[in-house]
Amino acid sequence: MKALIIVDVQNDFIPGGALAVAEGDMVVPIINQLQAKFDFIVATQDWHPADHGSFAANHPGKNIGEFIDLNGVNQILWPVHCVQGSQGAEFHADLNQEKWRAIFQKGMNPQVDSYSGFFDNNRQGDTGLSQFLKENGVEEIFVCGLAEDYCVKFTVLDGLEEGFKVHLILDATRAVNIQPDDFSKAMIEMENAGAVITHSVSI
């Protein structure tokens, strides 16, 4: 069984949002078309408390893009984004949600960030996504959404480690590029780990 995993297509990652990804809105119609080709679809949702440790605003004197040690994990600091219950945390209004089997929220623990849809960045918290997919006979996952260089990348890498065959749908993702070359570095990491790079028209 094949599953489509839609990562963090939320208002704050869309141009005009708090952590805008350039062209982030362009993935929405592509993902809606893709959804017609899958029977099994899940989404992830970045869902932070206001006091989350990844927000630069919660570390006086620190700026967005700087690194800190957050409980032993190297953490880049982000603008305040995807705060639980805020408009920015909602899914893009045009994103079709009709066929979703489940939504996996992540990033709720203020002490650790969670890029991957599977595990927290310290690999302690587990969203239950892996078990949910395996229980339903999913062996192959197709990953799309935002952002290619953070949450999409770590979802792809964890999916491979969990034993899934993993495809990245290149035209259905965009990078935030907070550091130069984040996009290309992420591509290389995903390919080296065994991800298959594909395009929506090939599915």
Residues with a known catalytic role: 8, 106, 151
- Burial environment of residue 3 by CB neighbours within 10 A (0 to 12, 13 to 18, 19 or more): buried
Spatial contact of 203 and 35, defined as CB atoms under 8 Å apart? no
Span 142-171, contacts to ligand VGL by CB under 6 A: 146-147, 150-151
Is residue 14 involved in binding ligand VGL (CB under 6 A)?
no
The position carrying tokens 């197709």 is 142
Spatial contact of 44 and 120, defined as CB atoms under 8 Å apart? no
- Name the binder of 95 from ligand VGL, Zn ion, none, CB < 5-8 A by kind: none
The span from the CA of 88 to the CA of 68, in Å, is 25
Is residue 27 involved in binding ligand VGL (CB under 6 A)?
no
Q: Choose the stretch contacting Zn ion; rule: CB under 5 A; options: 59-67, 89-97, 106-114, 160-168.
A: 106-114
Spatial contact of 47 and 82, defined as CB atoms under 8 Å apart? yes
Is residue 120 involved in binding ligand VGL (CB under 6 A)?
no
* Interacting residue ranges for Zn ion, rule: CB under 5 A: 46, 107
Query: Where does this chain bind ligand VGL (CB under 6 A)?
Result: 8, 13, 46, 78, 115, 146-147, 150-151
